[in-house]
A and B are shown apart, each in its own frame.
Chain A
Amino acid sequence: MVFPSATTATPVVRSRVARRSDEIWSIKRFVTPAVVLLVLVALFVALSSMTLDSIESRTLNTDYIIARVREHLGLTVVASALVAVLAIPTGIVLSRTRSRVLKAIVLGIANVGQATPAVGVIILLAILWQTGYLTALVGLVIYSFLPVLRNTMIGLQQVDENVRESAFGMGMTQNQVLLRIELPLAVPVILAGLRTSLVFCVGVATIATFINAGGLGDMIVNGLKLQRYPVLVTGAVLVACIALLIDWVAATAEDVLRPRGT
């Protein structure tokens, strides 16, 4: 009962899979961190050559900067983690439900969250509720909820109907199809949404300063108000570098976590 015929036309595919780690860690991969490093060194050199007045040296010192970066990253990472924990399950539930009304309502709310200017959301929350870290966090979550929600839904939706049908046809239950087939295949799309959210958060977290929640926004706003441009530029450059680095980490995670074979 052996059919020797079939292997004759076997294409010799030197698999993508075998070369995966080479592709993920190619030279191109290290361009972003290298550029960021260069920019930071240039900034440091420029600042060291300047004589700072008392206002400037109060902010342009290691302790102050590290504290602001820590606040900024804390807000960003915690907000994104909350978005992941909340938006992915919501996306799964919405993609399971047949109720168009429910879908429209949730997507509508998420849309409003993103369409409203972030400053507006955060300041409105501060007026209605309180100022500080927690309010900034909630504002960020509201603002960056939509990309993850939408990408989760799209990611599940774009799974080939034939793949889904054969999974059911082989006797998988609804949950097994979700966990073993749909979610793994949706991972790249969901991660892309999360990446967008993270970068959103880095930018929007600069607004936290307005409601007394710290972050690098402090430096930017102080620099502007007191007309100390070295402070302003340092804050802005640091935010940009963080955004680039976070985007880089997320892109790398996307490639590493992409299911093999796709």
Chain B
Amino acid sequence: MSTAITVPEDLWEGDNEGVITAWLVDDGSQVSQGDLVAEVMVEKAQYEIEAPAAGRLAIAKQEDEVVAKGTTIASLDD
């Protein structure tokens, strides 16, 4: 089973796009639910992205890529 990590819809208001400024966990690493895995920056505001489930991280969007709310940036595989 795979769980998507998306940029949450409630992180900021409006339709501004953000940029992935950091992956805090290496691709392929095992993470636990609630672990901080990435940072997204919008308008000089850094938002932390948590893992929604446990699993092995498969990064889909790399650092410095532009992302909108709802974008899948990685998946967590059993």
Pair from one complex = no
* Chain B residues close to A by CB (< 8 Å): none
